[in-house]
Structure 1
Amino acid sequence: MHQPHAEPRRSIYYPYQVFDAWLPSQHPQPQHHAVVIAGAGLIGLVAALELARHGVKCVLLESERQVSEGSRAIVFTRRSMEILQQVGVADRVTQNGLPWRFGNSYYRGQRVFRMEAPHDPDDRFFPMINLQQQYLEEYLIDAVRANPLIELRWGNRVTAVAQDGQGATLEVDTPEGPYMLQTDWLVAADGARSGIRTMLDLKLEGASYEGRFVIADIRIDLPLPTERLAFFDPEWNPGNTILMHREPHGIWRVDYQLPPGEDPEAARRPESLKTRIDAQLAMIGHAGVPWEMDWCSVYSARALTLPNYVHGRVLFTGDAAHLLPIFGVRGANTGFQDAQCLAWRLAFVVRGLAGAPLLAGYSSERVGAAREIIDEAGKSTRFMTPPTRGFRLLRDAVLSLSLSEPFVGPLYHWRTSRPHEYRHSPANSAGDDNALFKAGPGHGAPPQNVRLGADDHLLDHLDHRFSLLYFTEAAAVPDALQAEVNQLRARGLPLRMIAVGSAQPVAGADETLADANGHLRERYGVLASGAAYLLRPDQHVCARWMSLDATRLRAALINAAGLKKEA
């Protein structure tokens, strides 16, 4: 029988809560569901909430009975905040997190590079915000528990998976023993050590790096701003790298690289931790400042992915699908994009709008994103933790030159996580005017947010449906276009039309956004009335036109949504 921890985890700042285990004896049998998600970490929770936005019920299985231990993921990007806004928790993150946009690299006591993340008046969210993972899981769990379409089962671990062409049968272990659960689709969001990945005998592809880092969360009062701090080749840790981040509630995260060959367990002993953290504090001019340990762990950088995220009726997402170096805040931020990309497609298949082949688009898009990230992250990782003598010689040359030659400073750039652009996705329209636009988000890109008022932005008006931004100053949408929209809606396609530009409501549109100064049109490269953008349910652009007609709209939507042929 599965016996998860029943005592609250220890923490000096976070009040852990142990939830009651879901027991099969207390619920009727048999068990069959359209979607089961294994893993109620950040990615599983977001996937469940995204499915619920599309009206799809799911069961969420979590092997533990409380949120994750330690800070773990702490830096969330602007795009992640836009996704969290969609599932209803961005306000709580903003209220409690620490926003920032600058990163500093130091060598021999000198700042040799200062990174500035882009931020302009149109952005609702900062480029990055720091918040410990436990808090974000708590906010997402509150949202899940308030949603009648999601059933969260604590203390339930998947121990076996069998599947056929119609679905999957799961054996699920609980504190009172196992039960069987049938599902049409299983979403594997069970993390880096995915048991489901092992059960299906699937192998990750890529590289693992030898360098190990200790993560230590300490409570300390330091008069330093909320900015990323990176220290290269310090005297107390020669040849290695140290990172520091401020977290909420008086906590600082210190990541320091271990010398080659050091035993990870020995590195976690209190005397080792104290010696090294004291040395780091002394190096930055805060020797003797009292501090208290909350949590520590050891990790190594890995850049790995499954070559396919769809295996029959099992769909992989987050760390179960890929393992990415944390340098550049890629882990959870990439997983959120996975969940959003998967959920709308899975919802369309579950609801019968599209066939299972639509899910192949999820795999191709997100495997492509993972491979791009692995390429970028590999550069950062090789700079942070040189894997060979040759790489170390090159890195050390950069360090030395940076003391006197500013032009090498950008080589310190850690290539921050950014939203992937699905430029080559089959969901993009082949017959639109993408190549004619001189500005605005192109094929596969996420939307550019635009400030419409003091507390009003373009993305506030987008939801779980396909969104057609139709730029016009006319009093009404053309009849043929309205008729096509209505026909597609009659087939069950979730589609929303937003007219942009007119000061008065536009007949036939679901909403009108005035654009008196033309700022939104300028940002989107729109030159004349009749232009349009089509955004997928995950908000990525799949078509844009200088002049839209009903035939082109129909073709683009049928292609992107994978709609089944009419009987």
Structure 2
Amino acid sequence: MPVDYQKLRFDYVRAAEHDAPAQAVLPVVVVGAGPVGLTAAIDLAQQGVDVVLVDNDDTLSSGSRAICFAKRTLEIFDRLGCGDRMVEKGVSWNVGKVFLQDELIYTFNLLPETGHARPAFINLQQYYVEGYLAERAMQLEHLQMRWKSCVAGLTQYDEHVELLIDTPDGTYPLRAQYVVAADGARSAMRNMLGLDSRGRTFKDRFLIADVKMKAPFPTERWFWFDPPFHRNQSVLLHRQPDNVWRIDFQLGWDADPVAEKAPERVIPRVKALLGEDVEFELEWVSVYTFSCLRMDSFRHGRVLFAGDSAHGVSPFGARGANSGVQDADNLVWKLRLVTNGAAPDALLDTYASEREYAADENIRNSTRATDFITPKSAVSRLFRDATLKLAKDCPFARRIVNSGRLSVPAVLSGSALNTLDRAGDAFASAMVPGAVCADAPVASDGKSAWLLRHTDGGDFTGLYFCGPDENLDAIAAQCAALAREPIPVRVLVVVPAGATLSPHAGMTIVEDVAGVVQQRFDARAGTFYLLRPDQHVCARWRALDPTSVRAAVERATCNVTLNG
């Protein structure tokens, strides 16, 4: 029988600390079992860090909520061991269409090139995402999940944080070196620390109607400005699994949020879009307003905020859940190194600075999208409508149209963890220090594979681009030495199509079967890229120099002071 994730309840288990209060300090406690908290907890456990995940409920999210999960998020889910399951259930899409009234203005493709393992986006109800992550979490030995466990108090000390956990059996203390606060937009953790998020609230209301039906619409993102079935407003249509379609109707600020959820108000709106004769049923309805805001700092002592607890954006552009999962991706490898004693506490400051930068980028894009979709003055409306009319025939105008610029990972080009290109090491590639590593098809041991699957082990990874006739003995010795460093670098050797090279200890060899890896990295024989554990580029050189690689790792882990 398929699992009904909307009715699933997880078992509450009495914690051992009720009967024998533990004096031990856990490495990490994660608060909140949404997509962000689950991602962080799974990633920590997979990297060997003991972690307790607490959540004040025993169910998954109610309603579809976040449904658009981006390519980068899927690549992170691949590393967590549940990417395939997400994609198999989800509805994959790359294409969007923009309409003005009843006329198609233009079509766009978010992933026009081939050579990627994952689509630009999948649509998948949030309860499936949380359910698959929760089931993966329950398989991991380093992870305890504690349901119906609410944080009722928080005290920070020099060496640890003490949480007071409230449960059906009463309260108990739980101590951790660090706490990840992923408890959502109404974060109790944020309130306990007396902290605020600042930003802008948009004076508009939107209706979400999840409609179950069989419809001829293609698997695309359709966005209407001022359609004849919903005049002077906007409408968004998306397909989800299980024959469910998400429809967002702009309502205006004066709409009554309670009255608009009533079936007698929703059904006529849906019929106006679909036609009177289309059979459908309402699965979930919600009316929302939104803000674009963030905390001043994502780090407060030993408490680190991630996801909606740290920042909030409008739903246009699918930037909420995706940016939160990328927060966790950035934070976990740093927590592992710090809790293991391999990096100083200062490394966690770079989580805050890097993800605050990413949040500002998301908020900026989200604000611009919302201002375009919901112009607040006659002049803004005139500009918006003129842009839309031009966009049909003028490509330059399409770059101005903003129906929700869709989520892409931030390029952390200004990060203090990057090592800048050396003078003379010129590259013509988007794989700059701070960028997420691009995927590409490869072959390993004669079997088709993907580049990113070879860089997801939680370690620093080196990409060495080998010539077709190169003798690897000298390179192998250098790479073996890098693999033995206190913070090891695992080297992946990329060889041209058709090259046959013998394996060497400490290296994995993959074949660039279509030349895509070389092209995307602007690589030639001898080129070396250093990737962080979260698959961001942190350095690149035209020739391998182990001393430079070690220095770059020290910089990327805030260990530069150890060697002067």
Aligning the two structures, in what range does the TM-score lie when normalised by the shorter sequence?
Answer: over 0.9
Q: Alignment RMSD, CA only?
A: 2.3
Picking from 4, 11, 14, the partner of 1:20 is: 11
Distance 1:161 1:58, change over 3 A: same
Picking from 296, 305, 319, the partner of 2:308 is: 319
CA–CA distance in structure 2, aligned partners of residues 236 and 483 of structure 1: 66
Distance 1:495 1:112, change over 3 A: same
Match in the other structure for 1:445: 435
Distance 1:415 1:538, change over 3 A: same
Match in the other structure for 1:390: 379
Match in the other structure for 1:273: 266
Match in the other structure for 2:327: 338
Contact (CA 8 Å) 1:503, 1:516: kept in 2 or not? no
Give, in angstroms, the shift of residue 403 of structure 1. 6.5
Give, in angstroms, the shift of residue 552 of structure 1. 0.7
Picking from 465, 468, 471, the partner of 2:462 is: 468
Match in the other structure for 1:526: 523
Give, in angstroms, the shift of residue 402 of structure 1. 5.0
The amino acid across from 2:233 in the alignment is: N
Instruction: Name the SS for the 2:258 alignment partner.
Output: helix
Picking from 525, 534, 539, the partner of 2:535 is: 539
Picking from 73, 77, 83, the partner of 1:90 is: 83
Moved more, 505-514 or 309-318: 505-514
Picking from 305, 314, 318, the partner of 1:329 is: 318
CA–CA distance in structure 2, aligned partners of residues 24 and 475 of structure 1: 54
Give, in angstroms, the shift of residue 435 of structure 1. 5.7
Give, in angstroms, the shift of residue 517 of structure 1. 6.3
CA–CA distance in structure 2, aligned partners of residues 305 and 380 of structure 1: 17
Contact (CA 8 Å) 1:217, 1:254: kept in 2 or not? yes
Give, in angstroms, the shift of residue 465 of structure 1. 0.6
TM-score (norm 1): 0.92
CA–CA distance in structure 2, aligned partners of residues 94 and 486 of structure 1: 34
Q: What are the residue-to-residue correspondences of 1:147-546 with 2, within 5 Å?
A: 147-282=140-275, 287-402=276-391, 408-413=397-402, 414-430=404-420, 432=422, 436-453=426-443, 455-462=448-455, 463-472=457-466, 473-478=470-475, 481-482=478-479, 484-488=481-485, 491=486, 493-501=487-495, 503-515=500-512, 518-528=515-525, 530-546=526-542
Give, in angstroms, the shift of residue 486 of structure 1. 4.6
Moved more, 197-206 or 26-35: 26-35
The amino acid across from 1:83 in the alignment is: I
CA–CA distance in structure 2, aligned partners of residues 260 and 523 of structure 1: 46
The amino acid across from 2:203 in the alignment is: E
Instruction: Name the SS for the 2:202 alignment partner.
Output: strand
Instruction: Name the SS for the 1:198 alignment partner.
Output: helix
Contact (CA 8 Å) 2:46, 2:142: kept in 1 or not? no
CA–CA distance in structure 2, aligned partners of residues 518 and 150 of structure 1: 41
Distance 1:483 1:137, change over 3 A: closer
CA–CA distance in structure 2, aligned partners of residues 62 and 533 of structure 1: 40
Give, in angstroms, the shift of residue 515 of structure 1. 3.6
Match in the other structure for 2:122: 129
CA–CA distance in structure 1, aligned partners of residues 478 and 396 of structure 2: 54
The amino acid across from 1:215 in the alignment is: I
CA–CA distance in structure 2, aligned partners of residues 200 and 427 of structure 1: 29
Write the deviation string for residues 397-454 of structure 1: whole angstroms up to 9, x where unpaired: 3345556767534433432110111101111014646961122511110111111147
Give, in angstroms, the shift of residue 514 of structure 1. 2.9
Give, in angstroms, the shift of residue 78 of structure 1. 0.9
Give, in angstroms, the shift of residue 215 of structure 1. 1.1
Write the deviation string for residues 151-205 of structure 1: whole angstroms up to 9, x where unpaired: 0111111122111221211111112322221111110000111111111121212
The amino acid across from 2:21 in the alignment is: P
TM-score (norm 2): 0.92
Give, in angstroms, the shift of residue 372 of structure 1. 1.1
Write the deviation string for residues 476-529 of structure 1: whole angstroms up to 9, x where unpaired: 2447724641551xx2x142111222521353442112346654223311223x
Moved more, 273-282 or 240-249: 273-282
Instruction: Name the SS for the 2:562 alignment partner.
Output: coil
Write the deviation string for residues 39-62 of structure 1: whole angstroms up to 9, x where unpaired: 000000010111122210100011
Match in the other structure for 2:548: 552
Q: Which runs of 5+ in 2 are unaligned?
A: none
Q: Which runs of 5+ in 1 are unaligned?
A: 1-11
CA–CA distance in structure 2, aligned partners of residues 434 and 342 of structure 1: 33
Contact (CA 8 Å) 2:465, 2:524: kept in 1 or not? no
The amino acid across from 1:354 in the alignment is: A
Contact (CA 8 Å) 2:494, 2:511: kept in 1 or not? yes
CA–CA distance in structure 2, aligned partners of residues 504 and 404 of structure 1: 52
Contact (CA 8 Å) 1:349, 1:358: kept in 2 or not? yes
Q: What are the residue-to-residue correspondences of 1:28-43 with 2, within 5 Å?
A: 28-31=19-22, 32-43=25-36
Distance 1:347 1:387, change over 3 A: farther
Contact (CA 8 Å) 1:98, 1:248: kept in 2 or not? yes
CA–CA distance in structure 1, aligned partners of residues 153 and 379 of structure 2: 45
Distance 1:431 1:441, change over 3 A: closer
Instruction: Name the SS for the 2:482 alignment partner.
Output: helix
Match in the other structure for 1:9: none
Give, in angstroms, the shift of residue 108 of structure 1. 2.0
Give, in angstroms, the shift of residue 550 of structure 1. 1.9
Write the deviation string for residues 114-165 of structure 1: whole angstroms up to 9, x where unpaired: 1211232210111111111111111111110000111011111112211122
Identity %: 37
